[in-house]
Amino acid sequence: MSNNGYLLNFWVAAVAWEAGKPLVIEEVEVAPPQANEVRVKILFTALCHTDVYFWEAKGQNPLFPRIFGHEAAGIVESVGEGVTELKPGDHVLPVFTGECKECAHCKSEESNMCDLLRINTDRGVMINDGKSRFSINGKPIYHFVGTSTFSEYTVVHVGCLAKINPLAPLDKVCVLSCGISTGLGATLNVAKPTKGSTVAVFGLGAVGLAAAEGARIAGASRIIGVDVNPSRFEEARKFGVTEFVNPKDHKKPVQEVLAELTNGGVDRSVECTGNIDAMISAFECVHDGWGVAVLVGVPHKDAVFKTHPVNILNEKTLRGTFFGNYKPRTDLPSVVEKYMNKELELDKFITHTTTFSEINKAFEYMLKGESLRCIIRMEE
């Protein structure tokens, strides 16, 4: 029997039956894990903008009914055949991208883009057999990015689970399984600002603020926040942002404004909006000779990046990153340790909490622009 008194393998999940409609709390059958899979009891999950984007289904293939959620923390309940790295009771972070440890990307020190387990937003089934592990009255319910954490129990490929310190508070470190690590790693692993350098961060949502946090940890002397929403500026000071630029306040392109402010350009920039104009500005605002711009945001599928080739010839570097260049299984445990050692602050990212039965409140907070991260407690 489960904690809810239901038959074994039946638990509660928040199901999205159609695009843009409130999630419905349902009794769902969660099948046991198959080969290389793990069934995880989710204790805390958070709402990320990516969940909202695919729930709205305005710009991509709609796939419903579906269980969303990908930023979470939980405890291993059972493991399938061939799983040796994890055992029941281990504390884990599910991650939307994986690390098989066998492919060329996983074996490369430079890449974290696993051939087998790279994010696939269109796939709603497990890669082992092409079937869902969720069902209601025999009807399959689709998975989301291999995690589906808006469920008391979920089934995840072992390569998409990072085993972490069991002493780490799961209600805090759950936010490291997506957005915060993405922004943090974009700065620390890819931009790599030196102590005393100048960093511009485009977009002051949760990912951008995590990028600013990375610049603070790296010892940047100036962290310039660029955003068209002035209400975000005061909050950003908590994350080390020292000054602000609103592109709407200037008649000239924001890259020119930043170049004037910084004697020729910033040393590093991190773009976290997905807006193509912001991406171009982030690249063009870095200093010639040594400037590095890192793109984090995901642009519209038809967007085109345009810049004059002389920007490249003048030794400005353009980099892209995926999940902050962290390999989930290898690297996330050490990011959790940064929090445990008080090098990294997570509490300031958490602006709201709610119970699982009120999960739709988390959507309301995000749609109104009121929250950075809302933590959803699975146990009432």
Query: Residue 190 and residue 15: Cα distance in Å, rounded?
Result: 37
Q: Are 191 and 294 in contact (CB under 8 A)?
A: yes
- Given 37, 71, 99, 152, the catalytic residue: 71
Buried b (16+ CB within 10 A) or exposed e, 5-37: eeeeebbbbbbbeeeeeebeebebbbbebbebb
Backbone angles phi, psi at 111, to 5 degrees: -125, 150
- Residue 166 corresponds to which amino acid? P
For 316: left if phi > 0, alpha if psi spans -120 to 50, otherwise beta; the answer is beta
In the block, tokens 């899979």 appear at 37
Q: Are 377 and 171 in contact (CB under 8 A)?
A: yes
- Given 97, 114, 174, 262, the catalytic residue: 114
- Given 103, 307, 337, 377, the catalytic residue: 103
For residue 71, indicate whether it is catalytic: yes
For residue 272, indicate whether it is catalytic: no
For residue 50, indicate whether it is catalytic: yes
**Token representation of residue 332:** 């996330």
- Given 29, 37, 45, 70, the catalytic residue: 70
**Token representation of residue 131:** 């079937």
**Token representation of residue 314:** 């003048």
For residue 178, indicate whether it is catalytic: yes
In the block, tokens 């994010």 appear at 119
For residue 49, indicate whether it is catalytic: yes
- Given 48, 160, 174, 374, the catalytic residue: 48
The DSSP letter of residue 177 is G
For residue 343, indicate whether it is catalytic: no
Q: Are 285 and 200 in contact (CB under 8 A)?
A: yes
Query: Residue 201 and residue 89: Cα distance in Å, rounded?
Result: 39
For residue 106, indicate whether it is catalytic: yes
- Given 178, 272, 285, 374, the catalytic residue: 178
The DSSP letter of residue 5 is S
For residue 174, indicate whether it is catalytic: no
The DSSP letter of residue 186 is I
- Given 45, 77, 91, 100, the catalytic residue: 100
- Given 29, 106, 149, 284, the catalytic residue: 106
Query: Residue 8 and residue 281: Cα distance in Å, rounded?
Result: 55
For residue 45, indicate whether it is catalytic: no
For residue 103, indicate whether it is catalytic: yes
Query: With the CA atoms of 97, 169, 2 and 83 taken in that order, what torsion angle do they form, in degrees rounded to the nearest 10?
Result: 40
Query: Residue 286 and residue 220: Cα distance in Å, rounded?
Result: 15
Q: Considering only CA atoms, which of 3, 88, 92 is closest in space to residue 378?
A: 3
- Given 37, 39, 50, 273, the catalytic residue: 50
Q: Which residues pair with 93 in a beta bridge?
A: 162
- Given 26, 27, 56, 118, the catalytic residue: 118
Q: Are 146 and 125 in contact (CB under 8 A)?
A: no
- Given 29, 105, 373, 374, the catalytic residue: 373
Q: Which residues are catalytic?
A: 48-50, 70-71, 100, 103, 106, 114, 118, 178, 373
